[in-house]
Homo-oligomer: A and B are copies of this chain.
Amino acid sequence: MSYWFKDRYSPHTVLDIKIKKTLFKGASAYQNIEILESHDFGRMLVLDEIVNVTEKDEFIYHEMMVHVPLFTHPNPKTVLVIGGGDGGIVRELSKHPQIKRIDLVEIDSMVVEKCKRFLPRLSVGFKDSRLKVYYDDGSQFLKNKENFYDIIIVDSPDPIGAGRSLFQKQFYYYCLGALKKDGLLTAQSETPTFKKEFKIMKSMHKKLNGIFPIVKFFTAYVPSYAPGIWCFVFCSKKYDPLLDFQNKRYERLALKNSYYNADIHRASLALPNFLRDEFSNH
């Protein structure tokens, strides 16, 4: 039955998205899960009434989350994905032949199961033979890992419900420990457009800034997430996303991307004054 889904950006701004059909609606042990078919955004995964991913623009988010760190690290062999149950992050990782091992830790097996059924363009990622999937809490999983990963990608929902622990200082320390001495990490970091999300962004920056030597925001346009800038945080022990950009490997691989390219890599790190003045990209 057709209806309007309401994506509540704030108490005073709401995006109405016309839905053609509900493909799945249910609750796991962790959250409410819906898969909706919309007119403008294609199929959408909705977790606890927040848009998690849409077929229309997921490529922007996933390409930026993956290729910015992968083309910064000179030799990425082991990659950990926290969250990412839709498969989109792994699909992009699959484009990098030098990776030897991909671990994915998703707390909610129902997300994986439903995405495999209803979002095949994303869940195609699960076919990668280098992938091992663990159903566990990200923090719990990381506790026992030391000096193991080249790259960690934190594909978290907003810091409510199932995703809350992935925004805590303890979690970032676990990441630091699990990364090799030249390891790096990316995470989605909300938007400055609305007050609540900007507060989260500032809080993430404050925590990470005290832990990693290099902390920078990079940005992209993700229409279904928020009007305005969508931000990602890049944290690194050694490599800088501009100075260490692996241009030659980028050119050699000649990826079939829809968003990310070498110019976009560099451009995504340019911050407008109102962000540059708030956060020093050091």
| Interface residues in chain A, defined as those with a beta carbon under 8 Å from any beta carbon in chain B | 4, 9-18, 38-41, 57, 60, 193-194, 219, 221-224, 226-229, 257-261, 263-264, 266-274, 276
Asked if A40 contacts B13 (CB within 8 A), the reply is yes
Q: Give 4 closest A-B pairs by Cβ, nearest first.
A: A267-B267, A223-B228, A267-B270, A12-B39
Select A258's contact among B229, B263, B270, B274, beta carbons within 8 Å.
Answer: B274
Which residues does chain B contribute within 8 Å of A15, judged by CB atoms?
13-16, 227
Asked if B221 contacts A224 (CB within 8 A), the reply is no
Least CB separation from A57: chain B residue: B228
A38 to B11, CA, bound (A): 12
Asked if B12 contacts A60 (CB within 8 A), the reply is no
Which residues does chain B contribute within 8 Å of A272, judged by CB atoms?
60, 221, 258-261, 264
**Most chain B C-beta atoms within 10 Å of own C-beta, residue among A15, A38, A227:** A227
Least CB separation from A17: chain B residue: B13
